[in-house]
Amino acid sequence: ADIGSHTGWTAAHIADAAGRVDCIDPMFRVDEFHERFCANTARWGERIDEATCETSAEWGARHGRQCAMYDGIVIDGDHNSPCPLQDAMTAERLIRPDGIVLFHDAMGQPVIDGVNSLMSHGFRSRMYFTPHMVACCWRPEGSFVPPDHKPDQMVHWGGVRAMMPGYDFARMA
């Protein structure tokens, strides 16, 4: 699933790799965003099972008590508090035991709050030092092994770490 599908590029990559994807973004209510999403994902249209204009909380509530539905969920929705935390709570319930949750733009404190919430519920986390920072969270009892990542050595990443005081890098896996 892709929470915060916006213009569809992440959804297109998920569909290309995984075969199927559900897309969640309240911005789909705006015709221009929905049209751009449809244009960007047209090639993968049959692989997009759902494109809903709900928030993740609405989408999660609609799924009721269903759980363990997804192999992975990408969170790149509203980055303002408490939305990333709500997205994380929805994702935690809807991923399979060996599923993963990826957070895009994992530098801001509200997104870190979502990561920390999963970690407080037993998830492990690895931060990938990319231009937008990506946090990968998974349950240790699953079979998932996060890929290694070598950050760009031309970037001084210590400054980025200093901008993320809410993330406990000592707990990184």
Q: Strands of 95-104's sheet, edge to edge?
A: 48-52, 21-24, 2-3, 70-75, 95-104, 134-138, 124-128
Q: What is the mean pLDDT of the chain?
A: 91
Cβ(146)–Cβ(126) under 8 Å?
Answer: yes
Say whether pLDDT at 52 is over 70. yes
Q: Which residue spans within the chain are E strands per DSSP?
A: 2-3, 21-24, 48-52, 70-75, 95-104, 124-128, 134-138
Say whether pLDDT at 170 is over 80. no
Q: Quote the longest CA-to-CA distance of the chain.
A: 47
Tokens of 87: 């997205």
Classify the C-alpha dihedral 84-159-163-122 as positive or negative.
positive
Say whether pLDDT at 67 is over 70. yes
Please tell me the pTM assigned to this model.
0.92
Cβ(45)–Cβ(72) under 8 Å?
Answer: no
Tokens of 93: 């319930």
Q: Taking the mean position of all CA atoms in its chain, how far away is CA 121?
A: 17
pLDDT tens for 108-153 read 899 999 999 999 999 999 999 998 899 999 999 888 999 988 888 8
Q: Residue type at 93? A: R
Look at residue 173 in the predicted model and tell me its pLDDT: 65
Say whether pLDDT at 2 is over 70. yes
Look at residue 156 in the predicted model and tell me its pLDDT: 81
pLDDT tens for 150-168 read 888 888 887 877 778 888 7
Q: Is 3 helix (H, G, I), strand (E, B) or coil?
A: strand
